[in-house]
Chain A
Amino acid sequence: MDFAPSYTPEQESFREEVRSWLDDHAPVIAGDQDSPENYAKFRQLGRDLGQQGWLRPTAPVEYGGGGMGFEETVVLYEEMSRRDLSIPPYYDSGGWLGGASILVWGSDEQKQSLLPPIFKGDVVTWQLLTGPEAGSDLAGTQTDAVRDGDDYIVNGEKIYVGGSNGVDVLWTLTRTDPDGERHKNLSWFMIPADLPGITIRPMDLLGDGGEGVGSGVKNTVYFDNVRVPAERLVGGENNGWQVATTHLELEHGAGGSVARNLWFSRALDWARERQLNGRPLVENSDAQDRLVEIYEKTEIQRLFGIRNFWMNRTHQAMTYEGPQSSYFRKLSGLDITTALHELFGPYALTNDENTDFSEGALDSYQRSAIVSLHPGGTADVQKVLMARRIGMGRSEAERYKAGKTVE
Chain B
Amino acid sequence: MDLSLTDQQEMVKQAVDDFVSRDASIETLIELQQTERGFSDDMWRTAGELGWLGMLIPEEYGGSNTGYTDAGVLFEALGKGPVPGPFFSTVLAGEIIKELGDDAQKENYLTRIANGSLIATLAMSEPDYQWGIAGVQLIPTEDGEDYILNGEKSFVYDGHAADLIITAVRTGSGDDDISLLLVDTSTPGVSTRKLEGFTSSESSVTFENARIPKSALLGECCAITDGLHAALMRATPLLCAYQVGGAQAVFDLSVQYSRDRVQFGRPIGRFQFVQNHIVQLVIHLDSARWTTYEALWKMDTGRETEAAIHLAKAVTSDGYRQACNYGHEVHAGTGVVREYGLTLYTRQSRSLFHALGEPRYHRKQLAKLMPTLQLDDE
Q: Which of B82-90, B110-118, B226-234, B282-290 contacts A (4 or more CB under 8 A)?
A: B282-290
Is B127's CB within 8 Å of the partner chain A? Answer: no
Flag whether B370 is at the interface (Cβ < 8 A). yes
Provide the main secondary structure of the chain B interface.
Answer: helix
> Contacts A3-B297, A306-B1: A392 and B278 contacting too (C-beta < 8 A)?
yes
| A390 x B282 contact (CB < 8 A) | yes
**Which one, A2, A265, A296, contacts B311 given CB within 8 A?**
A296
* Nearest neighbor of B9 in chain A, beta-carbon distance: A1
Q: Contact between B272 and A387 (Cβ–Cβ < 8 Å)?
A: yes
In the docked arrangement, what's the CA distance between A280 and B307, Å? 21
Residue B134 CB within 8 A of the other chain: no
Give the distance in Å from the alpha carbon of A3 to the alpha carbon of B315 in the complex.
18
Closest A-chain residue to B300, C-beta based? A1
B259 at interface, CB cutoff 8 A: yes
The answer to whether residues A288 and B1 also contact, given A260-B375, A387-B272 and a CB cut-off of 8 A, is no
Contact B291 A303 (CB under 8 A): yes
A148 within 8 A of B: no
B258, A283: Cβ atoms closer than 8 Å: no
Q: Which of A15-23, A48-56, A178-186, A320-328 contacts B (4 or more CB under 8 A)?
A: A320-328
Chain A residues closer than 8 Å to B367, beta-carbon distance: 285, 288-289, 291-292
- Interface flag for B270 (CB, 8 Å): yes
Q: Which residues of the other chain, B, contact A289 by a CB distance below 8 angstroms?
A: 363, 367
Binary B-proximity of A285-305 (CB < 8 A = 1, otherwise 0): 101110110011001100110
A3 close to B3 (CB less than 8 A): yes
Interface pair B315/A300, CB less than 8 Å apart? yes
Contact partners of A6 in chain B: CB under 8 A: 1-2
Separation of A383 and B5 alpha carbons in the complex (Å): 28
**B279 in the interface (beta carbon within 8 A):** yes
B371, A2: Cβ atoms closer than 8 Å: no
B103 CB-CB contact with A under 8 Å: no
Asked if A394 lies at the interface with its beta carbon under 8 angstroms from chain B, I say yes
CB of A5 closer than 8 Å to a CB of B = yes
Complex: how many Å from CA A272 to CA B276? 39
Pair B366/A295 contact, Cβ less than 8 Å: yes
Please tell me if the beta carbons of B366 and A393 are within 8 angstroms of each other in the complex.
no
Q: Bound state CA distance, A260 and B378, in angstroms?
A: 12
Contact of A387 with B3 in the complex, beta carbons under 8 Å: no
Docked complex Cα distance between A76 and B5 (Å): 26
Interface flag for A167 (CB, 8 Å): no
Is B128 located at the chain interface by the 8 A CB criterion? no
B1 near A299: Cβ-Cβ < 8 Å: no
Q: How far is the CB of A389 from chain B (nearest CB, A)?
A: 10
Contact B293 A1 (CB under 8 A): yes
Q: Does B314 contact A (CB under 8 A)?
A: yes
Where the two chains meet, the residues of B that have a C-beta atom closer than 8 Å to any C-beta of A are 1-6, 69, 255, 258-259, 266-272, 274-276, 278-279, 282-283, 286-287, 290-291, 293-294, 296-298, 307, 311, 314-315, 363, 366-368, 370-371, 373, 375, 377-378
Residues on A lying within 8 angstroms of B by beta carbon are: 1-6, 70-71, 74, 260, 264-265, 268, 271-272, 280, 282-283, 285, 287-289, 291-292, 295-296, 299-300, 303-304, 306-307, 309-311, 314, 320, 324, 327-328, 383-384, 386-387, 390-395
3 residue pairs, one from A and one from B, having the closest CB atoms:
A393-B269, A392-B269, A288-B367
